[in-house]
């Protein structure tokens, strides 16, 4: 299954100032498969060490950070010769070998000739447990579930379709029915690789839903296994509340919707645990817009999205027939799935932060807010072909230098003050913003 991140791995391989690479991402988004595919195709030989399955991997780094000794131990353990420039070293589940993370600093400083990549599903949790992370000594990439463009390539086997989806200026109107039908299926499958591969292999929809349920069960086991027992129950409460939080017209996360009388201090650690695990995304609010947006972040309010809309559908037992057959599926559930879907597409390729805008004084709300090189990019998400955009228009009046974008079921069009991007091409929006 071809992933867009493969091209970034190729870029990393050839960088003259290459550092050890850390690949992050939630469990089962395909990190191990991707790196193995990369290692097998782009290097003469490939050394794979799994810190979760083999305690000897941890022992290599417990004995100190002298690189020549570490390389020698890796060769003995793997039965392969490690040749600089020709061998890829891959340490999987590196969170289970904390000192392997610290060792990356010494690979960077003392042995940059080696290609070494590490990955781990709960890497963010490991870092926050006091592991010495080599800040400034590593390159980092994040793998997400398959975007809609990646799904189309996997499902239809047509790279030309993907090029059209990603081209900021391409006219997609002639293929609208193809993309809408694919998007309907993607609303059900989501982007978890095992589910998408099941669809490619022709498994029926009930079987695909069972795969989604199993992934959710695996996530629950991860939570129970790795979370602090003192916040375990609250982690489950937050995780289970996200779909209903997103079903509201105002999708701001409200603690009292989890439990009557709940306050931030009761659940903030639980939320950060889920964010660190990579299975929840946190989108902060800005109440006053300016560049850079990070300066205006309001830490008191945020939205939470789950890692994958397909898993969210399984989590709430959304009827399969309604998703696949109902003509207004994109409008159902107050656009809950649609805003979740759009955020997943944006985060796959966004180079800057993603926020949402909510000015309580003017009661002006926008689904997302990003920034271009020297302009604000307000984004409104419409689950239908409703072209009224009062909030978006008012924002542009308040901030004349802004360039407005609407994502809807309408075709691509540029107006004087607004660019409409088709819902099925949402993944191209960061590229449009980047070009200005």
The per-residue pLDDT for range 22-77, each reduced to its tens digit, is: 999 999 999 999 999 999 999 999 999 999 999 999 999 999 999 999 999 999 99
Model confidence at 128, pLDDT cuts 50, 70, 90, reads: low
Please give the full DSSP string across 5-50, using - where no structure is assigned.
HHHHHHHHHH-TT---EEEE--TTSSHHHHHHHHHHHHSSEEEEEE
Model confidence at 331, pLDDT cuts 50, 70, 90, reads: low
pLDDT surpassing 70 at residue 93:
yes
Model confidence at 324, pLDDT cuts 50, 70, 90, reads: confident
pLDDT surpassing 70 at residue 274:
yes
pLDDT for res 322: 83
Assign domain 5-142 one CATH number from 3.90.1720.10, 3.40.640.10, 3.40.1000.10, 3.40.50.300: 3.40.50.300
What 8-state DSSP symbol labels residue 356?
E
d(CA 310, CA 144): 13
pLDDT surpassing 60 at residue 255:
yes
Domain with CATH 3.40.50.300 in the chain: 5-142
The per-residue pLDDT for range 146-165, each reduced to its tens digit, is: 999 999 999 998 788 888 88
pLDDT surpassing 80 at residue 361:
no
Mean pLDDT of 208-233: 95
The enclosing H or E element of 118 equals strand 115-119
Angle of helix 5-14 versus helix 31-42 axis, rounded to 10:
50
């Amino acid at each position: 299954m071809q992933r867009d991140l493969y091209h970034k791995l190729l870029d990393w391989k050839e960088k003259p100032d290459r550092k050890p690479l850390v690949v992050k991402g939630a469990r089962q988004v395909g990190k191990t498969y991707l790196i193995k595919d990369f290692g097998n195709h782009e290097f003469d030989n490939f050394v794979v060490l799994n810190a979760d399955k083999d305690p000897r991997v941890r022992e290599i780094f417990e004995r100190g950070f002298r690189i020549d000794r570490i390389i020698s131990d890796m060769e003995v353990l793997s039965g392969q010769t490690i040749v600089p420039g020709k061998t890829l070293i891959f340490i999987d589940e590196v969170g289970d070998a904390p000192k392997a993370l610290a060792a990356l600093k010494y690979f960077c400083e003392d042995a940059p000739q080696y290609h070494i990549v590490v990955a781990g599903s709960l890497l963010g949790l490991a870092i926050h447990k006091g592991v010495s992370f080599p800040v400034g000594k590593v390159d980092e990439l994040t793998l997400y579930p398959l975007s809609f463009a990646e799904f189309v390539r996997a499902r239809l086997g047509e790279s030309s379709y993907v090029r059209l989806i990603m081209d900021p200026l391409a006219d997609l109107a002639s293929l609208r029915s193809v993309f809408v039908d694919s998007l309907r299926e993607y609303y059900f499958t989501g982007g978890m690789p095992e589910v998408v591969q099941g669809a490619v292999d022709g498994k029926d929809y009930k079987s695909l839903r069972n795969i989604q349920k199993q992934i959710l069960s695996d996530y629950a086991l991860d939570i129970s296994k790795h979370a602090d027992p003192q916040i375990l129950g609250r982690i489950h409460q937050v995780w289970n509340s996200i779909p209903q939080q997103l079903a509201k017209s105002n999708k701001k996360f409200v603690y009292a919707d989890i439990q009557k009388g709940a306050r931030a201090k009761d659940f903030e650690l639980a939320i950060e645990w889920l964010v660190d695990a990579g299975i929840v995304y946190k989108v902060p609010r800005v109440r006053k817009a300016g560049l850079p947006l990070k300066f205006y972040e309001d830490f008191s309010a945020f939205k939470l999205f789950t890692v994958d809309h397909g898993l969210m559908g399984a989590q709430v037992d959304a009827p399969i027939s309604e998703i696949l057959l109902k003509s207004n599926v994109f409008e159902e559930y107050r656009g809950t799935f649609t805003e979740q879907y759009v955020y997943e597409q944006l985060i796959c390729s966004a180079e800057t932060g993603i926020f949402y805008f909510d000015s309580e004084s003017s009661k002006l709300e926008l689904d997302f807010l990003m920034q271009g090189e020297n302009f604000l990019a307000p984004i409104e998400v419409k689950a239908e072909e409703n072209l009224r955009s009062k909030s978006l228009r008012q924002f542009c009046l308040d901030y004349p230098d802004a360039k407005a974008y609407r994502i809807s079921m309408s075709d691509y069009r540029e107006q004087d003050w607004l660019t409409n991007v088709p819902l099925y091409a949402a993944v191209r929006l960061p590229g449009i913003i980047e070009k200005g």
